[in-house]
C-alpha cells in the first residue's frame, strides 16, 4: 500500500480537528456542570459525556500512528495530547459528579469549574494553525 501524500494526511488531520472543535463546547459544558453540587447534576448527563468521550477516543485512535511527515506528526502529537486531555476531563468530571467518595476526597472539587478553557482554546488554535498550513501548501509563495 503506497504511503499517503502530504495533502491527504493534512486533510485527514483537519477533519479530525474540525470534529474535535465541533464537539468541544458540549464537552466543556458537561465538565462545568459536573463541577456543580451533586444534586444539581442530571443523571442523563452521564450518557452525553460518555458519548462525547467515546468520540474523542475515536479521534485519538485516528491520530496515534505517525504518518512519517515531520510537520504533520508534530501537529498530530499535539492534537492527540489535547484530545486525550478532553477524555480525561470528561471521565474525571463524571467521577467527581457521581461518586460521592471521590468528591469527598478531592481537595478542590471545583477544579473542573474552569472547564476546558485553555485546552479548548489550544485545540481551536491548533485547528487554525493546521488550516493555515493547508492554505500555505495549496497556495505557495
Tens-binned pLDDT, residue by residue, of the chain (141 aa)? 456 799 999 999 999 999 999 999 999 999 888 876 656 677 788 889 999 999 999 999 999 999 999 999 999 999 999 999 999 999 988 887 777 665 555 555 555 556 778 888 899 999 999 999 999 988 887
Cell of 36: 456543580
Q: What is the Cα 86 distance to its own chain's centre?
A: 4
Whether the CA torsion 98, 30, 90, 23 is positive or negative: it is: positive
pLDDT in the model for residue 96: 79
Whether the CA torsion 30, 12, 126, 69 is positive or negative: it is: positive
pTM of the model as a whole: 0.84
Cell of 29: 459544558
pLDDT in the model for residue 1: 46
pLDDT in the model for residue 108: 53
Instruction: Indicate the SS3 state at residue 67.
Output: coil
Amino acid at each position: 500500500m503506497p504511503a499517503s501524500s502530504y495533502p491527504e494526511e493534512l486533510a485527514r488531520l483537519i477533519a479530525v480537528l474540525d470534529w474535535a472543535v465541533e464537539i468541544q463546547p458540549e464537552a466543556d459544558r458537561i465538565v462545568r456542570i459536573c463541577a456543580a453540587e451533586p444534586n444539581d447534576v442530571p443523571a442523563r448527563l452521564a450518557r452525553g459525556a460518555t458519548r462525547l468521550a467515546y468520540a474523542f477516543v475515536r479521534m485519538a485512535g485516528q491520530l496515534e500512528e505517525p504518518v512519517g511527515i515531520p510537520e504533520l506528526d508534530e501537529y498530530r502529537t499535539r492534537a492527540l495530547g489535547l484530545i486525550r486531555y478532553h477524555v480525561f476531563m470528561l471521565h474525571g468530571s463524571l467521577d467527581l459528579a457521581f461518586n460521592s467518595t471521590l468528591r469527598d476526597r478531592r481537595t478542590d472539587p471545583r477544579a473542573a469549574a474552569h472547564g476546558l478553557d485553555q485546552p479548548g482554546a489550544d485545540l481551536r488554535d491548533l485547528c487554525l494553525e493546521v488550516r493555515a498550513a493547508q492554505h500555505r501548501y495549496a497556495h505557495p509563495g
